[in-house]
Structure 1
């Protein structure tokens, strides 16, 4: 196993927290494999497991139950956000309930502190990046889409303001920067994330940001303000060659 990426060395003498982060598990009802062995491995390598959305393939309660069953083999705390796939069947409340009953810290505009590190999570949304970010102009449908993107950024900001820890990991599903979706077709960039998330992140001091969603994206980038961003979608190549990234916070 490769050494963890040191995202932000503690400056107050606190012990560095090892975080394993992975996204886009896409658990299916007809799956022939499980994640039990992977979760067992992660438990021996890290202090915390972070899941960056698309935990299920179609947002079905049974898929969430299967993930919860596999997570029984994980002996460390689990922090997660949902992704767009987890909303597909309109059963997000059931999926959320099942995972929280499995002791997952499922964040949706909230924060949780574990071992002196604040974990902040929202799903995020689409909208594009930089000067090509979609603006609120034209048809009501476009304005509704942009309003959702703005709302997610505001929910992230409200959660960030609740953090009291000196170290913070931001957990998203959608990307906050274009660098970590590089490798995906240019035509779908606007549907992979939004710079509004990065604008919010850069108002605060954060140790690192993790996201998923862009399966063919790139592993590492940074916000305009310098915050390290990692695309931990399962199929993105990572240091160490494992499906998960290992970070020191």
Structure 2
């Protein structure tokens, strides 16, 4: 009976994105992470951990995360790639309880988490196609590659843990609805529907992303897959005292 209760117990997942930690943020996040720890079982940070992609900013975040007493799962965002130091940022932030995912998966409790950065390319009937100049093909290929990495990470969860609930974490959006509110001309740079296909096919329980600061908190993919844009500005606009969104899985 106890084992059954453990298996059926819901996990409280707190999620935020676009925290953009700077060199002047020392002690700014301590109370935030303490509050997350009181109210959730896992924290997701969906990209743009740093403001300018500098490892010194990542070191500040690493120090601040010491006040977080629950497991943390993160992916990097475009800001974290700005200076080409994304590997250093990953090494700085990663620890025994902070899992940085880039096409990988980690199982915590009764939930498997798969993470990628994602990429742009547009949505639905307006996705960019693999046609034309090499630069355009390379842009589209990046989104294709990210979708493949996501699919492999989700597949590994299925192969190693039968019937485990799956959650996807990314920076770019897999759907149009959660970027609405942003200027339409920049939609192609906010995400790609190519990321949605593996989410639907693998029957993911929930998806969390950021990047679209002026977007919409919630949307639903085909098959009922819930998608949450947890960019910090979106949560602040929605009136969250502590900007993190909690979903029970």
Q: String of CA shifts for 1:124-143, please: whole Å, max 9, x gaps.
A: 00000000000011110000
Pairs within 5 Å for 1:29-40? 29-31=23-25, 34-40=28-34
- Give TM-score scaled by structure 2 length: 0.92
Q: 1:167 to 1:102 in 2, by over 3 A?
A: closer
Question: Out of 199, 204, 207, which is 1:206 matched to?
Answer: 204
Separation in structure 1 between the aligned mates of residue 197 and residue 5 of structure 2, nearest angstrom: 25
Q: How many residues align?
A: 240
Q: String of CA shifts for 1:129-184, please: whole Å, max 9, x gaps.
A: 00000001111000000011100000000111011252111001000000000100
Query: Is the 8 Å Cα contact of residues 26 and 64 (structure 2) preserved in structure 1?
Result: no
Question: Out of 121, 126, 130, which is 1:127 matched to?
Answer: 121
- Give TM-score scaled by structure 1 length: 0.92
- Report runs of 4+ in structure 1 exceeding 4 Å deviation: 10-13, 238-241
Structure 2: give runs of 5+ residues left out of the alignment.
none
Would you say 1:84 and 2:82 are equivalent positions?
Answer: no
Pairs within 5 Å for 1:117-196? 117-163=111-157, 164=161, 165-196=163-194
Q: Secondary structure at the match of 1:76?
A: coil
Query: Is the 8 Å Cα contact of residues 170 and 209 (structure 1) preserved in structure 2?
Result: yes
State the partner residue of 1:225.
223
Pairs within 5 Å for 1:87-98? 87-98=81-92
Structure 1: give runs of 5+ residues left out of the alignment.
1-9
**Mean CA deviation greater in 93-102 or 211-220:** 93-102
**Which structure shows the higher helix fraction?**
2
